[in-house]
A and B are shown apart, each in its own frame.
Chain A
């Protein structure tokens, strides 16, 4: 694998605030990589350090094997799509898009051709002579994208580029961005705090919290096998049950309930059992469930979501868990107060030690 961007022990402090804390990360050439995390976790700061708009307090940043940690932004083969777009208000669309090429003294004819191509790529033909203020949010977003892509950067950095768009446009642009990335084959480093966006678009995702990079992996890795409780909680919805390992692959939750779970932790370790609501099934209390973990409880609430139903189940141990059930005619509905059995496959239960 060719490493497009390599961060090694990168730390950034603003006074007392540690915005980025000893981050190690390698992003492969051609990859669509997302940095995901809650507000203030250091995503933007990490991206800005790759762009050269911020310099790390410690650590090394390499772009295609060239050390750039302290290089100014204009000396790096990367371009940025800013969250607020940062289009030059005193220039036309074409002038905005051509800015980078003009700075690099690309000959006039080539500049015009490439600007035209970039504007076509983002489907803004006919708007070359407009000012940014005469464009809609979605169109401005495309100009920002074209302005960065036209330079054929080795790495494109995007800071919540769809954050200001409404839901419909956002979804359309997600598809379009992904298509464009495939078409140009450039490495994308994409910052977002929208987990759905990260899950659907990325080849790999890095989950951050409080300046630390907690886990790096594919969408599936992160959703199915979160490294710790924070990642499990941040991505999707999750039930957490406190427990302790009582035998290899066995977790005791509450008193006297033991379930099988995926774990490598030694006996005696305190763990948090993680269970996704959609991986749990509900049964009649008398029904026999083979080969699956089985617990008993009582329905407390039922929430109707159209395509699905959510049940809040109080287990015998006193814990409460959420169960998501597809709204299909073949499945029975359960009423609050009813006794039920819940079951789940042992592979769907992760015993987390952090």
Chain B
């Protein structure tokens, strides 16, 4: 046994510090282990599988064959049909994001500026109520509303403005707007609720009109909410599958449906895998660039 006198005498003993750091790192790793395991099993491994399949070839019946590795699936990405579907998906996702923002911002602003905390809580619960039932069920409900003799259809006919919308692009659009609006409202509300309103008063005191104060102070300071909400709406809109599948028709194929079709009816797993993988990478890069430029401006 060694004597207990050999404790490190200097606090700044480099060896001791290094050990402490290593122990700290190990502890952090162990704490995060369950999350790591989850990410590895449900994200990393499936992604690798998708990545591998994108280079596979097909048997004559369309079964994926894990030999004869090639880039054919990637070459197929340049077909005009893909460009058309991507353009349509992008347009719809962008339009949906802009409209969610246009509707969600005033609402979140109004919500965040209510004085009574209880009133705010009630309104917030109202925003969340749709989540109490399944998305699929709610989308089917829209099928009734938009269908023959549906409520929305009746209104349109009464006004003479529109007829049955089901299985058209506007139906898909309404479904997306309805489905993703809460994802815009919530981060916007979170950002606006944290706002220091005395900053707006300061701007008003410094000769800014109400509108200018909003533009120069409220809007820039709620930008993190705008960005978070836009990402939360844009990305799932771009990959939407359920909504266009249930509410859209044959002419409204979007990326999500197109990819699913490759794995089902078209029996072209490698092409579906390549498509998925490219979409993923593009969105990842776009998101990173978005955050980077934003970090510089805030």
Contacts and interface: CB of A to CB of B under 8 A. Distances in A.
A86 interface: yes
A100 B208 CA distance: 8
Interface residues of A, number: 23
B201 A151 contact: no
25 contacts: A51-B205, A52-B204, A53-B204, A53-B205, A73-B205, A74-B204, A74-B205, A74-B207, A79-B205, A80-B201, A82-B198, A82-B201, A82-B202, A84-B196, A86-B199, A88-B203, A89-B199, A89-B221, A90-B298, A99-B206, A99-B208, A103-B206, A103-B212, A147-B206, A148-B206
B217 interface: yes
A103 B209 CA distance: 9
Interface string A70-102: 001110001110101011111000000001100
Given A74-B206, A82-B201, 11 more contacts: A52-B204, A52-B205, A53-B205, A72-B204, A73-B201, A74-B209, A78-B205, A80-B202, A87-B202, A88-B203, A103-B203
B180 to A, nearest CB: 28
A104 interface: yes
Contacts of B220: 90
Interface string B187-206: 00000000010110111111
B257 to A, nearest CB: 42
B36 to A, nearest CB: 34
Contacts of B298: 90
B54 to A, nearest CB: 43
Contact-residue size bin, chain B (C-beta under 8 Å from the other chain): 10 to 19
Contacts of A90: 220-221, 298
A86 B201 contact: yes
Nearest to B199: A86
Contacts of B210: 72
Contacts of B212: 103
A74 B208 contact: yes
Contacts of B201: 53, 73, 80, 82, 86
B208 to A, nearest CB: 5
Given A73-B201, A84-B198, A88-B199, A79 B206 contact: yes
A104 B207 contact: yes
The winner among A84, A87, A103 for most chain B CB atoms within 10 A is: A103
Nearest to B196: A86
A79 B207 CA distance: 9
Contacts of B205: 51-53, 73-74, 78-80
The winner among A72, A74, A104 for most chain B CB atoms within 10 A is: A74
B217 A88 contact: yes
8 pairs of A and B residues whose beta carbons are closest in the complex: A100-B206, A86-B202, A103-B207, A86-B198, A73-B204, A74-B207, A80-B205, A99-B206
Interface string A45-66: 0000001110000000000000
A88 B221 CA distance: 9
Would you call the interface of chain B mostly helix, strand, loop, or mixed? Answer: helix
A148 B212 CA distance: 18
Contact of B208 (A103, A147, A148): A103
A280 to B, nearest CB: 46
The winner among A79, A90, A147 for most chain B CB atoms within 10 A is: A90
Contacts of A53: 201, 204-205
Contacts of A86: 196, 198-199, 201-202
A148 B217 CA distance: 17
A177 B196 CA distance: 26
Nearest to A77: B207
Nearest to B209: A74
A193 B210 CA distance: 31
B144 to A, nearest CB: 46
A74 to B, nearest CB: 5
A161 to B, nearest CB: 13
A277 to B, nearest CB: 40
A63 to B, nearest CB: 14
Interface in A148-167: 148, 151
A50 to B, nearest CB: 11
Contact of B202 (A78, A88, A104, A151): A88
A74 B201 CA distance: 10
Contacts of A74: 204-209
A78 B210 CA distance: 17
A147 B204 CA distance: 13
Contacts of A100: 206-207
Contacts of B203: 88, 99, 103
A270 to B, nearest CB: 45
A284 B84 CA distance: 107
B151 to A, nearest CB: 42
Contacts of A104: 207
Nearest to B220: A90
Contacts of A147: 206
Contacts of B206: 74, 79, 99-100, 103, 147-148, 151
Nearest to B202: A86
A90 B212 CA distance: 15
Interface string B72-96: 0000000000000000000000000
A89 B203 CA distance: 12
The winner among B202, B203, B298 for most chain A CB atoms within 10 A is: B202
